[in-house]
Structure 1
């Protein structure tokens, strides 16, 4: 997923069992490079936090990997999914000019 350094996107995990039915599970989100992307809660209209979704918010340009983990049955390893996120610089928004000191020619 590529985003500009002024953007964010919502990432939603939808855990299901082998038959395709939704599973109520504790979902954890993490990122390996918080300078590039951060994870922020999604607040629903009723003021509660969405347990299945997070905002992925751009930081400085670079690459990061977002990992989502869901516990399975006791004794089995968690299921994980990853998403590579590349943050690229946005277009020019301002030009600053700095004049040097005047000198004799």
Structure 2
């Protein structure tokens, strides 16, 4: 049986380290996830970890001055927030169940955004 794998687009702005460049590079990320796992309490943490991993990969760039890689944490947070919100909306619009753990994450993100 094929599992429904879906993808969503999440956007963020990568901020280069201020000491090295004041450039902002907008990015768009396609996040893939398993719709069935989002519905399971045991699967929701797996989906959230996958979203974070994909966001980190998209928000990491090589910085020659460091001689290594730099991950923009605010970029990761923005992508994770956008992805979780969009997944919740998509699950609801399709009439699919969303695990409580996943839905709670969306509520926490919304509460955090309202405090800013």
TM-score normalised according to structure 1 size = 0.38
Structure number with the higher strand fraction is 1
Structure number with the higher helix fraction is 2
Question: 1 or 2 for the larger relative contact order (CA 8 Å, sep ≥6)?
Answer: 1
TM-score normalised according to structure 2 size = 0.35
